[in-house]
Structure 1
Amino acid sequence: MTSEDLHAISADWLKRLENASSTGDVKSFVSHFLSDGWFRDLLCFSWNFRTLSGPEKIHGFLSEVVDGKSRLEYSGLRGFKLDDHTVNAPSPFKLPGPRGIEGVQGAFTFSITKPAALGRGFFRLTQDIDGNWKALTLFTNMQDLVGFEESSKDRHGLYEGRQITWEEDVDAKFRAIEADPTVLIVGGGQSGLTCAARLGRLGIRALVIEKHTRVGDCWRQRTNFPKYIPKGKLANFVESYAVNQELCIWLSSIVASTPVYDSSSARWTVEVQRGDRKVIFKPKHLILATGGGRPRIPTWDGMYDFRGALYHSDFHTDAEQFRGKRVVVVGAGNASGDICQDFVAHGAAEVTIVQRSATCVVSSSAAEETHFKLPFSDNNPIEELDFRTNSLPLALLLQLMKSGGTQHVKMLDKELHEGLRKAGFNLTWELSPGGGEVGLEGFLFSRAASGTMLDIGCGKLIVEGKVKVKQGQDISHFDEDGIKFKDGSKLSADVIVLATGNEPVMKGTRALLGDKITEQLPPKVWGLDSEGELNQTYRPSGHPGLWFAIGPFGVSRFFSKHLGLQILAQELGIA
C-alpha cells in the first residue's frame, strides 16, 4: 500500500472511533475492534493500568458507571488527530507467528475531559472476514494533566532576575526538598532515579535515599559484561544522570525503623539513618525502588563445614583471587553464566555449573536480532519506540511468542542449543510443562527473568567443555571439601558460588514495612495479573501512599511518567 492508502485507512477508522467516543456510544466504540481484539489503557479511563481482550470485556469495562455515566462518556476522549509527523505515523506492520498477521499501524493524539488531560494512542488495524478495517489492538495513554505538563526545559543563565549561580539555585531547591519531601524514594538505582526526575519535572518534591556510598554502585559492584555497556560506564552514566537531573539524594542512608502510615493525615512517618544521624520525615508518598529482592540463599546440611569460599552471586566481585582454584557454581541462569565466564577468564583450574532445573537460553546475537535491533533502531527517538513497544498488550505478546515467535528465536540458536544439550545442559522455553513456549518475554514478565540465560559467551564455554555441567536437582549436603548429591556423586571445590536468585520483592517489603502493612497488600509485586499487567508495579499497590518502582531500564523509562502522573493527580485532589 502507498502512504496515501495507509493514511486514508487510518484516518477513516479513527474518525469513526472518535464519533463513538465523543458521543459516549460504548456499543459503537467496541464495534471498531476485531472479535479477538485487544484494548490496553493506561490512566485514561481509570487511575490504573488495564488490558481487556475481546468485545465483551472491553464493553464491560467502558460501560462501568462513574459518577452516573459510563466510563467512556465520563472520560470524554475527543479531538482524535492522526500523528503524521513522527516515526509512528501510519505504516504497515506484520506480527510474528504462523498466522502472519499484518495491517496498518499508527499513533494519534486526543484530549481527555475528566480529568482535563492530554493523551496519545496507538492502533493496529487488520481486515475482518468482510474486508472491514478493525482494531487488533488499541492503546490509550495519558501523557499530561492540562496545566501541569511535564517540563522539558532546562534553566540557564540568571535566575529570577538575581545574580545567583546554578549551584546556589540547586542548593536552595535541595534544602526545600529535605525540609518537607512530598515523596520519599527508597533506592537510588535506575528506577528510583527516573521516578525522582519525573516527579521533579512535575513540580513535586522528591528525596531519594540510597544505602551505597556513591550513586551507581548498584551497577559498579556487578560482574562485567563483554558485549553490552561495561558496568563502570553504566554506573558513571547513572551518576551523571542524577547530577544533570538535579536530584536530591542522601547517600549511605537507610530506613532505620518500620515506617508508620497515619490514615487521618495521609502521611507516613519514616525514620532515616544518614551516617550517625537520624532524621524523621513525614512524606505523603513512599516509593520502594529497592530492586529485585534480597539474595535467596538455600540451606543445606553441612554448609558451614565447607572449608573453602562460599558466597551468593550478588556478592561476586572479582574471580582473579581464585586463579587456579576449583569452582562450583550452583544455578544455571544469567548470574551463573556471567560468573562462570569470569572464572574461566581469570584462570580457574576447573569450573562446574550445577543445573537444578532447565534454563531458557537465548544468545546475545539472537536477542540483538529479535529484541533490540528491530524495535530500537539508532535512527529513531527512544521515546517513540518505547511508546510503540508498550502499546502491545503483554498477554498478546506472549500469545504471539507461543504461536511461533519463540520458534523463530530458537532457530537462530539451533547450533548453540544442540551443543548445550550434548554437554548435558537442559533447555526449556515453557514456564510450566505444556504451558506453551513463551520464551524470554514470558520468563521476564512472569519471573523477572529467573530461569533464563542471555548468553554472552558461557554457552560456548559449556559446549567446549571449559565449563562442565552437573545435573543437581538432588543436592544431599555439603562437607568440608564440596557438595554431595543424593545419587552418591560428589563435586570437590575450593570455591562455591550460590547463583540461586533473589527473594520475592514482597519478602523484603515485609522486612521493611512489617506485617501489618504487608498483609494489606496483594501477594506479588511484578509478574502478570489476570489481565496481563504487571502486579503493583508503577500502579496502585493496594495501600494508600505506597508505590513500587522496579524493573529494567525500559520499564523504568516509560512507566516512571505514569507513576508521576498518579501522584500528581492525588496531590491535586483529582484522582
Structure 2
Amino acid sequence: MDSEDFYAISAEWLQRLQVASSTGDSTSFVSQFLSDGWLRDLLCFSWNFRTLSGLEQIHGFLSEVVDGKPRLEHSGLRDFKLDDHTANAPSPFKLPGPQGMEGVQGAFTFTITKPAAFGRGFFRLTQDADGEWKALTLFTNMQDLVGNEESSANQHGLYEGRKMTWEEDIEAKFRAIEADPTVLIVGGGQAGLMSAARLSRLGIRALVIEKNASVGDSWRQRYPNLTLHTPAYQSSMLYSPYPTTFPKYIPKGKLANFLDSYAVNQELCIWLSSSVASTPVYNPSSARWTVEVQRGDQKIFLNPKHLVLAIGSGSPRFPTWNGMNEFQGALYHSDFHRDAEQFRGKRVVVVGAGNASADICQDFVAHGAAEVTMIQRSATCVTSSAAAEKTHFRSPFPDGTPIEELDFRNNSMPLSLLLQLQISGGAQHMKMLDKELHDGLREAGFNLTWELSPGSGEVGLEGFLFKRLSSGSMLDIGCGKLIVEGRVKIKQGQLISHFERDGIAFKDGSKLSADVIVIATGNEPIIKTAKALLGNDIIARLLSPEVLGLDSEGELNQVYRPSGHPGLWFASGPFAISRFFSKHLALQILARELDIA
C-alpha cells in the first residue's frame, strides 16, 4: 500500500465513526472496533482518564447516562477531520510480538459539544476476519477549551501603547499571584515547574514553593556522576527543548542549571527556601485551602483553591538490620552519596541492584576503591541503553519534529495493551538484543528477571517503569560491563543476618568485609510523604492508596487527575509524563474555575 491507500482507509473508517458519534449511536460507534479493541479517553467523555477494553466495556461506558443523555450523545464529538499535515498523518504500523499485527495508524481532530472544546484523536486500524478495517485502539484527547485556548503568543516586546517595561510587567504579575494564588504548587522540580508553566499559559495564577535555596537543587544535590538515563530529546522540558550543544545524556549539574534558567525564562512565580509549615486545612464552604507557608524566617498564610503536590520521590527507604550501630565504617543511603574519592583504596559494599546502585558502583570503581561489591537481594530487570535506544528512544519522526507529536503518539497506546504486547513478544525481543550482556551477568552471579512476579508474564522495562516506578530494574549505562569483568562483584544477599563492626553477615554463615556500606534501596512511596504533609483525614478521602503505579484499567494512579479530595492534585513522574499530562491537569483546574466540570 502507498500513502493514498493509507489515507483512503483512514478516511473511510473515520467517516463511519463520525456518523455514529454525531447521531449518538453508541452501538454503531462501538461496531467500528475490533472485538478486542481498546478505547483510551482523556477528558473527552468524562473529567477523568479511562481505558476500556473489549466491545462490552466500551459500549457500557459510552451508554452511561450523564445529565439525562447517554455519554456519547452528551459529549457530542463532531467534525472529525484527518490530521494529515503533521508527523502523525496516516501511515503503516507494526506492533511487536510473534503475531506482528499490522495496519494503518493516524491522527485526527474533532470538536466536543459539552463542554465546548477541541480534541485530537489517534487510531490504529487492522482488518478483522471479514477484511473490514476496525480499530484496535482509539485514543480521544481533549486539547483546549473553546475560548480559553492555551496561549502561545509572546506577551512582551515592543508594541504601541506600552506603559510598562518587561521588568515592571513581570513584577506586577508576580504581585498579583502572591496576593491571591489560584493554585499553590508544592515542589519546584520538573513536574512542578512544567505544571506552573502550563497553568500560566492558560491564565491561571500559580505560585510554586520550593524547599531548596535554588531551583534545580533537587538534582544538583544528588550523587556526582548522575546523568539522565534517557536521551535529552525525550527528557526535554515543556515549551523549551535543550540546546543542541547539550550531550545526549545530560549530567545532573547541567540539568539543574537548565531548570533554574527555565523558571526564569517561563516567568514562573517561585518562593525559594519555602515549605508547608503545618497541616493544610480545606474549607468546603469557600472551596479554598488554608496553607501556612514558612518562607525563610516568615510565616505566611495562603488561601488557594487548588493544592498541587509535586513532591517528587519520597524520603530515603532505609531498611534496618541488627548491628548497624556497631559498624565502624561509613554507612549512608545512596541519596547522600557525594564523594567517592575519599574512599579510594577502601572496600565498598552497595546494598541494592537498581539504577542508583549501578551508578554508585561505577563511581567507586572510577575513583579507585579497592573492592566494590553489589548485594543483590532479588532478581533485577536489566536493559542496556543500547537496546533501549533501538526499541524505545529512537524517534520515529525526522529531526526537528516537535516532541509533542511523539508524546501524543506514545500516549495514544493504552498502557495495559502495551504490557500485553510486552508479554506476547516485546520483552523477548529486548532480551535478544541484550543476550551477550545477560549471559555475562548470569555468569557473574547476577540474577535476572522480566516478570513483576513469578508466572505473571514478562513485561520487561515498561512493566517495571509503570507498575513499580522502575524499582527492581536497571537501565544499564556501563555498570553491567563492570560486573561482567569482575570489577564489581555480586553477592546474593536476600538473607542478610546482621551487621558487624567490619562488615555484613549473612544467614548462610558467610560474611562480607567492608569499610563503606551504601544502602541503595530506593525511596518511600509518594503517598507516605503526602500523609506526613496532609494528615490522615485528607489521605483517607483519596481514591487510591497509591500515587503513580497503574489502576485497574491501566491508567496512572491519581497523578494529573482527580484525587478524590476536592482541590487536591498530584503532579509526578518522569519528564515525558509531566510534559504531556501537565496539560490535562491545567484543563481540569481551568474547567473548575469556569464552573463547567
What TM-score results when the alignment is normalised by the length of structure 1? 0.99
Aligned match of 2:574: 552
Conservation of the 8 A alpha-carbon contact between 1:302 and 1:479: yes
Aligned match of 1:483: 504
> How far apart, CA to CA, are the structure 1 residues paired with 2:585 and 2:183?
12
How far is 1:114 from its partner?
0.2
> How far apart, CA to CA, are the structure 2 residues paired with 1:533 and 1:375?
24
Aligned match of 1:536: 558
Aligned match of 1:568: 590
> How far apart, CA to CA, are the structure 2 residues paired with 1:505 and 1:471?
29
> How far apart, CA to CA, are the structure 2 residues paired with 1:259 and 1:484?
45
How far is 1:493 from its partner?
1.0
Aligned mate of 1:260, from 253, 278, 281: 281
Aligned match of 1:219: 219
> How far apart, CA to CA, are the structure 1 residues paired with 2:163 and 2:344?
59
Conservation of the 8 A alpha-carbon contact between 1:375 and 1:389: no
Aligned match of 1:364: 385
The code of the aligned residue for 1:280 comes to F
> How far apart, CA to CA, are the structure 1 residues paired with 2:170 and 2:437?
53
> How far apart, CA to CA, are the structure 1 residues paired with 2:48 and 2:596?
14
1:339 aligns with 2:373: no
Aligned match of 2:129: 129
Aligned match of 2:343: 322
How far is 1:156 from its partner?
2.9
1:173 aligns with 2:173: yes
Conservation of the 8 A alpha-carbon contact between 1:185 and 1:289: yes
* 3-state SS of paired residue (1:222): coil
> How far apart, CA to CA, are the structure 2 residues paired with 1:212 and 1:9?
54
> How far apart, CA to CA, are the structure 2 residues paired with 1:159 and 1:563?
33
1:156 aligns with 2:156: yes
The code of the aligned residue for 1:275 comes to G
The code of the aligned residue for 1:127 comes to Q
Conservation of the 8 A alpha-carbon contact between 2:75 and 2:115: yes
What TM-score results when the alignment is normalised by the length of structure 2? 0.95
Aligned mate of 1:398, from 419, 422, 435: 419
Conservation of the 8 A alpha-carbon contact between 1:158 and 1:165: no
Taking a change above 3 Å as real, the CA distance of residues 412 and 551 of structure 1, as seen in their structure-2 partners, is same
* 3-state SS of paired residue (1:108): strand
Conservation of the 8 A alpha-carbon contact between 1:125 and 1:137: yes
How far is 1:285 from its partner?
0.4
How far is 1:225 from its partner?
4.3
Conservation of the 8 A alpha-carbon contact between 1:183 and 1:287: yes
> How far apart, CA to CA, are the structure 1 residues paired with 2:356 and 2:399?
28
* 3-state SS of paired residue (2:378): coil
Aligned match of 1:286: 307
Conservation of the 8 A alpha-carbon contact between 1:297 and 1:498: yes
The code of the aligned residue for 1:513 comes to L
Aligned mate of 1:527, from 549, 553, 578: 549
Conservation of the 8 A alpha-carbon contact between 2:317 and 2:521: yes
> How far apart, CA to CA, are the structure 1 residues paired with 2:264 and 2:454?
48
Aligned match of 1:70: 70
1:493 aligns with 2:514: yes
How far is 1:308 from its partner?
1.2
> How far apart, CA to CA, are the structure 2 residues paired with 1:12 and 1:63?
24
Conservation of the 8 A alpha-carbon contact between 1:430 and 1:436: yes
Conservation of the 8 A alpha-carbon contact between 2:43 and 2:49: yes
How far is 1:21 from its partner?
0.1
> How far apart, CA to CA, are the structure 2 residues paired with 1:356 and 1:507?
23
Aligned match of 1:95: 95
Task: Please list the CA deviations of residues 380-436 of structure 1 after superposition, one character each: whole Å capped at 9, or x if unmatched.
Answer: 221111000000000000000000000111111100000000100000000000000
Taking a change above 3 Å as real, the CA distance of residues 159 and 479 of structure 1, as seen in their structure-2 partners, is farther
How far is 1:326 from its partner?
1.0
> How far apart, CA to CA, are the structure 2 residues paired with 1:206 and 1:163?
25
Aligned match of 1:228: 249
How far is 1:314 from its partner?
1.1
> How far apart, CA to CA, are the structure 2 residues paired with 1:328 and 1:487?
18
1:7 aligns with 2:7: yes
* 3-state SS of paired residue (1:162): coil
Task: Please list the CA deviations of residues 220-279 of structure 1 after superposition, one character each: whole Å capped at 9, or x if unmatched.
Answer: 122324671111111122111111110001111111111111111111111111111111
> How far apart, CA to CA, are the structure 2 residues paired with 1:397 and 1:215?
35
> How far apart, CA to CA, are the structure 1 residues paired with 2:271 and 2:159?
26
The code of the aligned residue for 2:564 comes to G
Q: How many residues align?
A: 575
Conservation of the 8 A alpha-carbon contact between 1:376 and 1:382: no
Identify unmatched segments of 5+ residues in structure 1: none
Conservation of the 8 A alpha-carbon contact between 1:213 and 1:251: yes
> How far apart, CA to CA, are the structure 2 residues paired with 1:553 and 1:569?
25
How far is 1:157 from its partner?
2.1
Segment drifting more, 444-453 vs 225-234: 225-234
Aligned match of 1:42: 42
* 3-state SS of paired residue (1:218): helix
Identify unmatched segments of 5+ residues in structure 2: 228-247
The code of the aligned residue for 2:578 comes to S
Aligned match of 1:17: 17
* 3-state SS of paired residue (1:151): coil
1:427 aligns with 2:452: no
Task: Please list the CA deviations of residues 306-359 of structure 1 after superposition, one character each: whole Å capped at 9, or x if unmatched.
Answer: 111111111112311211111110000010000000110111111100000000
Please give the root-mean-square deviation of Cα atoms over the aligned residues, in Å: 1.1
Conservation of the 8 A alpha-carbon contact between 2:87 and 2:397: no
Segment drifting more, 104-113 vs 211-220: 211-220
> How far apart, CA to CA, are the structure 2 residues paired with 1:468 and 1:63?
59
How far is 1:377 from its partner?
5.3
The code of the aligned residue for 2:3 comes to S
Taking a change above 3 Å as real, the CA distance of residues 305 and 375 of structure 1, as seen in their structure-2 partners, is farther
Conservation of the 8 A alpha-carbon contact between 2:395 and 2:406: no
How far is 1:159 from its partner?
6.9
1:109 aligns with 2:109: yes
The code of the aligned residue for 1:211 comes to K
Aligned match of 1:465: 486
Task: Please list the CA deviations of residues 450-502 of structure 1 after superposition, one character each: whole Å capped at 9, or x if unmatched.
Answer: 00000000000000010010000011111221111111111111111100111
Aligned match of 1:52: 52
* 3-state SS of paired residue (1:204): coil
1:306-317 paired onto structure 2 within 5 Å: 306-317=327-338
> How far apart, CA to CA, are the structure 2 residues paired with 1:514 and 1:350?
45
